[in-house]
Structures are given as structure tokens and as C-alpha cells.
Structure 1
Amino acid sequence: METERLRLRRFGADDVELLVELDSDLEVMRFLTGEATPREVIVREVLPGMLRVYGEHPGLGTFAAEEKDGGAFVGWFGLQPTARPATVDVGYRLNRGAWGKGYATEGTRMLIDYAFTELKVDRVVADTMAVNHRSRAVMRRSGLRFTRLWHEHFDDPLPGTEFGEVEYAIDRRTWEAGDRA
């Protein structure tokens, strides 16, 4: 899969260090876990889980994103299965050096289009912490619309958890009409 500036590909067994570097940046992980993901967790759980999704859910998964010009790894974009029929979850995680360049919106839009055209889903959703204003802006620019706010209990909550989680979504009818936020 490609956008104007990015090439997306499946992760492979040789990509451990890319994920370790990405998940070691505390600013990248700020609204996710608030801490670096240990290398052994990436080796034993994260990467095998990504590879498993490719086989279990054709067309879905987490895809390494590289700049077309030079091939630098910028992070990942993903389409994940959900418990809801014909609904997928779109997400992304980018290296801090890739922030502010429009890559998050560019990759997310491409995956939303792919979900509707190739996968024939009915709905695409995304979620984040309510206080993650940058991610919320990417969701809006990508055509997703705010649908709900909810609160979850966490034993070790991140700062801002008290403000809740938000979901954004777009359905097929809205996407086909080109009525994007």
C-alpha cells in the first residue's frame, strides 16, 4: 500500500529493532502506556501478535510505514478487527521525528479508503484518550467524526485518564458521500 509519500508493508521477524526504538520513546508512548515497551515484550508478544493478525484476518494488520524518498522508517499504521461486525479499528504510531509532517493524516486516510474499497467494511473507528488533542485532530482531518466519550477504570491510570476516552468513526454512507469532517 502506498500514499503520496509513504510506503506501507507488513512487518517481518527482522523488524524487532524498529519497534523497540519506536516504543522506547516516552513521548510516543505518553498516551498509550506511559512507559517504554521492554524489548522482550516486543519479541515475545507484540511482533508475534502483529504477524498472527496477517494470517487470521486477511487484509488487516499493523503495517510498517516508510518514506518513499529514502526508505526511512516513520512508524506504523494499522487496521485491526473489532468485536463489531463489519467494523475495523484504524490506528497509528509514529516516530517523534515524523510528527507534524502530515504523515498521520495521510496514512490514516489511505487506510480508511482501503477499508471501504478493498475490505468492504461498513464502519471504521478509532479511539484515544480525550486529552490526546494531536491524535484527535488527526482523526478529524482523516474524515472521522466524534461519536462518544466513555470512562474506564485503570489500576495504574495515566495522567489525563480522568477525562475519559473518545471514539471517532466514519460509516460507509458518509464516506461514499464524501462528507468528511
Structure 2
Amino acid sequence: MIVLQTERLNLRHFTADDKAFVLALYQSPGFLNYIGDRGIHSEADALAYITTRLIPSYQNLGFGLYLVERKEDLTPVGTCGLVKRDTLEQVDLGYGFAEAYFGQGFAYEACAAVIDYAAEEHGLSSLLAIVQSDNAASITLLNKLKFHYLRCQQVLTLQVNIDVYRLSAMK
């Protein structure tokens, strides 16, 4: 199901058919380095992640992470959406893109659409975003999206400190 469309992108629900893309994205070096190992090491793991984490989020919360694909050829390029984490007090903007599509503006385009969607469809007036402090590209993106640094927070499960950013006064 397509949730959002932009000039160049569709953002849609993940399905079982997306397991190969999920495996490739979640095992890419950049994803592992900046987002972490989600335990997806096979297509079976990817399918389990889709069916036990992504799809239930759509059903239980009305939002989640979406597959981002190019409109022109339906090629998957990344993931972007809204996440409710136990470790954060508010919903956050989550995203990750395949390295082959870096520098093409897809992340900004998808994130901007999700921010509008969060405000218009879910009535959210602010969002959080988390990022490792050495992820310069992601910090640049968050700044371009008008997020502001809020705090550093330790994530014990990942044994890493993350920077938390906030976007307030959304549409």
C-alpha cells in the first residue's frame, strides 16, 4: 500500500516480497556502522523482521518505516518513516538509504514528506531523530530539515551514545 508520494518517490508498506532488499540494506556497511546490526543475516531473518516488526507497527500505531522506491521504475532505494521507540519520549523520524542512492536528494525528499505526513495525518507537533555524532551526512540532513540538537543519550542495548535532535513547530 502506497502511503505517500513525492515528485520522484513512492513510500509504501513493506511486504514479504521486499525481503531481499531488507537483507541487502540492513547488511550494508553504512547501515551496520550508523544504525546497527538488527540481526538480519538471511532472507528468512528479513522476512521475520518485516512480519514481526514492520507490519505490526502499521497495524498497531498507524505508522512505521516505509519502503522508499523510485516512481519511475519502482526500484527500492531506502526506508523512511515514523518510529515509536521505548527509549524515546516521542515519535522519531527514522531513515536509511542504500549507498548507491546517496547524494541524489532521495533522503531529504522522503523525510520532508514523512514530516508533513506526521503533522497532517497524525497531528504530531514535533518529532525526534537520533544519529551517531560521527554521521556527518545524517546530521547535515537533519539540519536541512530544521531539526535542532537536543541532547546526547546513551543506548545501553547498542553500547553507544547517540545524539537526539528535535523538530518543533511542524505544520
TM-score range, shorter chain: 0.7 to 0.9
| Contact 2:27–2:37 under 8 Å retained in 1 | no
Partner Cα distance (1:75, 1:129) in 2: 19
Structure 2 residue aligned with 1:109: 112
Structure 1 residue aligned with 2:147: 144
Instruction: Render the CA deviation track for 1:1-24: whole Å, top value 9, x for unaligned.
Output: 011211111111211111011122
Instruction: Render the CA deviation track for 1:153-178: whole Å, top value 9, x for unaligned.
Output: 46x75xxx4xx31011112xx334xx
Q: CA deviation at 1:54?
A: 0.9
Instruction: Render the CA deviation track for 1:20-39: whole Å, top value 9, x for unaligned.
Output: 11122223321122687312
Structure 1 residue aligned with 2:162: 165
- Max radius of gyration: which structure? 1
Question: Per the alignment, do residues 130 and 14 of structure 1 end up closer, same or farther by CA in structure 2, a change over 3 Å counting?
Answer: same
Q: CA deviation at 1:80?
A: 1.4
| Contact 1:63–1:76 under 8 Å retained in 2 | yes
Query: 2:14 matched to 1:11?
Result: yes
Query: 2:133 matched to 1:134?
Result: no
Percent identity among equivalent residues? 22
More deviation in 41-50 or 111-120? 41-50
- DSSP-derived class of the 1:131 partner: coil
Structure 2 residue aligned with 1:51: 55
Gaps of 5+ in 1: 177-181
| Contact 1:128–1:165 under 8 Å retained in 2 | yes
Partner Cα distance (1:66, 1:152) in 2: 30
- TM-score, with normalisation over the residues of structure 2? 0.86
- DSSP-derived class of the 1:18 partner: helix
| Contact 1:6–1:68 under 8 Å retained in 2 | yes
- DSSP-derived class of the 2:117 partner: helix
Question: Per the alignment, do residues 71 and 45 of structure 1 end up closer, same or farther by CA in structure 2, a change over 3 Å counting?
Answer: closer
Partner Cα distance (1:117, 1:48) in 2: 27
Question: Per the alignment, do residues 109 and 46 of structure 1 end up closer, same or farther by CA in structure 2, a change over 3 Å counting?
Answer: same
Question: Per the alignment, do residues 36 and 96 of structure 1 end up closer, same or farther by CA in structure 2, a change over 3 Å counting?
Answer: farther
CA RMSD in angstroms comes to 2.2
Partner Cα distance (2:11, 2:108) in 1: 14
| Contact 2:39–2:45 under 8 Å retained in 1 | no
Query: 2:5 matched to 1:2?
Result: yes
- TM-score, with normalisation over the residues of structure 1? 0.82
- DSSP-derived class of the 2:31 partner: coil
Question: Per the alignment, do residues 47 and 20 of structure 1 end up closer, same or farther by CA in structure 2, a change over 3 Å counting?
Answer: farther
Structure 2 residue aligned with 1:27: 30
Instruction: Render the CA deviation track for 1:126-179: whole Å, top value 9, x for unaligned.
Output: 00111111111111111211111233446x75xxx4xx31011112xx334xxx
